[in-house]
Structure 1
Amino acid sequence: MTELLLVGIAAAVFWKLYQWSRAPHDAPLRSVTLCLLSAALSYPVAMPGGASGVDTVAGHGTAKLIQNVLLLLTVYFLMCFYLYSADGQAARRRARREAVVVALVAVSITVAAESVPNEVFAGSFSTADMTIPQIAFFYGGAGLYLMYALGVAGRWTRRYARMSRRPHATGLWMAAIGLTAMAVACAVRAVIVAIRWSGGTVPQPLMTGVAFLLVVSILLFVAGVTYPGARARITSLTLWPRHRRDHRRLTPLWQLLAEAYPENVLRPASPTLRDRWRARSVHRRYHRRIVECRDGLVDISPYLGYTAEDTEVLDLDPAELAERLRQAVTTIGKGALSPRQAVPLAIPQDDDREADVRQLIAVSDALRLSA
């Protein structure tokens, strides 16, 4: 499971690095990429094997220091994403000021960690001796900055969630709740540090509850960030077989109209075997075929013998319209010219895309049955 998670994180980082390489001046994209990169680098350092390896080489506590500095950078770049998304000089100045703040915090906790023996700095948050001022400052200072940055990011996420529509609003609200819960957990941990620094004790169930809240809030934030994209992907895959089927059913009508007006056939974007089965390519070919059929019907309509004032053309059933279309293609093939104006054909009663496609398919099915 851990290996799969690492592979997923690495894939996300490489994808964002690729996107960043294609748009090096995109400040929000750069912030997201550096946020993911910092989080990805902190994960192996936090693992027991990675932490012990780093501590063996650089001394006890080094892995913990690196992990916390990377976490500070993670939330800083997350905050920068919102700042740069505002796209204003004030936002850019704010990002530079925030960079100074996170640098000061990182330097301060590094000095605190280096000012105590390595053996004292060993251990976890629950076992560390918080009566030592440097240890308390290390955990408290990092926790307070995390609380601040996560709280600010959560507030901006809630603002964007109010301005968005579903499914993006749903994902943003999930992310906002996750960020707020993480900020609350960091605030509680800061209180725990203060209590233990003063010599008090904290019940173990409370420590466990805060750790559980952090895990749940992180998962909720990740779920919120991925929800819109995952839902769009699932919807796309759900529509894939239907669009393939409708694309094939439109073939008789499309072939008839393409024979009369080959110039209406749009040039394929990616005519490869792999592209043929991709969901995005299927949807693209499906919508392109609808456009080509509609363009062809507009061009061929003057040859049906109706004028713009005639209304009976609107009431033609699919079978009769299919027969008229065959006759019109024959007329065009003989080089006949028609001075009549274009009239609408195969217009559905309901004014929506699905009804329009059903009407085109009905005409196409009638052409296939009469062939």
Structure 2
Amino acid sequence: MRAGTCGTVGMSGVNLVTVVTLLGGTAWTLPALVRQRFRAPMRLHLCLSMFLLGMGNLLGQFPGHALLDGFTFTGFTKLTYNAAILTGLCLMIGFLREYPLQRRSLGTRGEVVLCLSCLTAMAVLTASLPPDLRNHSLAAPYLDDWRVRAFYDIGGVYLVFGYATCALIAARHARRGQPLRRISLGTVSAGLLGLSLSCAFRILWVNCRAFRGFGHHITYANAFLFGQVAAIAVCAGLSLPCLASTVQFLRERSCHRARFRGLEELWRRLAELYPELVLDRAPRYRRRPPLDYSSVVYRRYVECRDGLTRLSPYLRQAAQETPSAAGTPTGPDLARLVDRALRLHGDTDLEDGAASAPSVVVDPGGGHDADYESDLAGLIELSRGLEELRTAAPRSRSRVVASGHPGGTLSRNSERPGPRPAPEPSAVSGRGDGPSGA
């Protein structure tokens, strides 16, 4: 947000930050406004205000004023970006007051009447100036003309009024609400007050020759630097809600991604048995990491639940083969039960006995209702238990192999030479990755 209407060219770092912040805030508020079909007056005021302020700052620092004026008339660019800044500031006042500008009340709103009066007077002064003075700046040759001084005075009066009004309303809003809102609005209020003071000093600079005299303790460069610091404070305050929303989005994305990966083992083993469960048929090499993992987590949850529904006959068969304590199995017992059911698939034809509803294999536990979150947490725990069983299998086999080597532990029967008895055949030829757990 610029300190006011001035004629400097070339974009400094602070002005670039201001333009990026305002136009970035416009892009941040636009999607929600589109979803509401532009029927939210307050959000519309905020979006239009930041857009006009951003475009006004961008056009004010654009070096090709003469190029744009060549298509219209000399001084058109200067008048346009001043009109954009003043109109955007008027919309910001309506937004902070939580009182949208309406057609029937435009004639009675003080900020609207003052804004229209200032714009009309500035347009009249621009038309009265000769062409060589319309692209004026805060230099001594231009300020010798009273019309140029009046142009800056009129614009400065509205900027002082607008920035001070927004600062007071923002400070009033900063007294209540969440800590982040108080900090954000407090910073914005301090920055707007600084911009108002810098604009007031510029009015003195334009009208008092003593301020423009050589050797004065306070120069316009000092006031301009003060205005830039105030603009940085405004940008920082406006950026805090966006940064907080970004951090929250990244945190939720990380949580959903951990859930997505937590279901990997259960989903993969069920998808190997029932390939038709997979709803996303895109090739693996063409899949891109999703921006929001919440939908893909829910899809994987549905696929796992559907797979457990089809596996329910084998779950009952595995439960009969491995008697356990009464009640629903949980924790490692549940993981071993599901692992055994996955191994039974293919060895025993139980497809005709598939139940129409899934067996309850996941107990929410903890006294919570069987909602989506608790059921998803149970499936993730089950998937991690299956992964632990799969990773424990190679270690157990390596211990068995090591026991037959010189460095291993030898049994008493193996010390005598002779034929080694053949191993007994396994009762079930497993198809899964981990041990049977029977």
Per the alignment, residue 153 of structure 1 pairs with 166
Aligned: 1:200 with 2:210: yes
Residues 165 and 287 of structure 1, relative CA distance in 2, 3 Å threshold: farther
Q: Distance in 2 between matches of 1:191 and 1:128?
A: 17
Aligned match for 1:365, one of 384, 390, 398 = 384
Q: Distance in 2 between matches of 1:147 and 1:66?
A: 19
Per the alignment, residue 65 of structure 2 pairs with 51
Aligned match for 2:363, one of 335, 345, 354 = 345
SS of 1:78's equivalent?
A: helix
Q: Distance in 2 between matches of 1:296 and 1:168?
A: 46
Aligned: 1:42 with 2:56: yes
**Contact map agreement 2:185 2:237 (CA 8 A) in 1:** yes
**Contact map agreement 2:330 2:362 (CA 8 A) in 1:** no
Segments of 5+ residues of structure 1 without an aligned counterpart are 260-264, 306-310
Per the alignment, residue 279 of structure 1 pairs with 291
Residues 292 and 65 of structure 1, relative CA distance in 2, 3 Å threshold: same
Aligned match for 1:93, one of 105, 122, 129 = 105
Deviations 1:274-307 (A, max 9, x none): 8852322x1443366579989999xx9xx999xx
The one-letter amino acid paired with 2:243 is A
167-176 or 203-212: which moved more?
167-176
Per the alignment, residue 67 of structure 1 pairs with 81
Q: Distance in 1 between matches of 2:238 and 2:270?
A: 45
Per the alignment, residue 319 of structure 1 pairs with 332
Deviations 1:117-173 (A, max 9, x none): 344555323546556443333212211211222222233333444433254444333
Segments of 5+ residues of structure 2 without an aligned counterpart are 1-9, 320-324, 345-349, 391-433
Identity of aligned residues (%): 22
Q: Distance in 1 between matches of 2:264 and 2:28?
A: 37
Q: Which has the higher helix share?
A: 1
**Contact map agreement 1:253 1:293 (CA 8 A) in 2:** yes
Per the alignment, residue 233 of structure 1 pairs with 246
**Contact map agreement 1:348 1:355 (CA 8 A) in 2:** no
Displacement of 1:106: 0.6
Aligned match for 2:227, one of 192, 201, 214 = 214
Displacement of 1:319: 0.5
Q: Distance in 2 between matches of 1:173 and 1:290?
A: 44
**Contact map agreement 2:49 2:92 (CA 8 A) in 1:** yes
Displacement of 1:26: 2.9
**Contact map agreement 1:147 1:184 (CA 8 A) in 2:** yes
TM-score, normalised to structure 2, is 0.59
**Contact map agreement 1:318 1:366 (CA 8 A) in 2:** yes
Displacement of 1:71: 1.4
Displacement of 1:82: 3.0
CA RMSD in angstroms, aligned pairs only: 5.3
**Contact map agreement 1:31 1:81 (CA 8 A) in 2:** yes
174-183 or 16-25: which moved more?
16-25
The one-letter amino acid paired with 2:61 is M
TM-score, normalised to structure 1, is 0.68
Per the alignment, residue 198 of structure 2 pairs with 185
Displacement of 1:228: 2.2
Aligned: 1:32 with 2:46: yes
The one-letter amino acid paired with 1:99 is V
Aligned: 1:82 with 2:99: no
Greater relative contact order (CA < 8 Å, ≥ 6 in sequence): 2
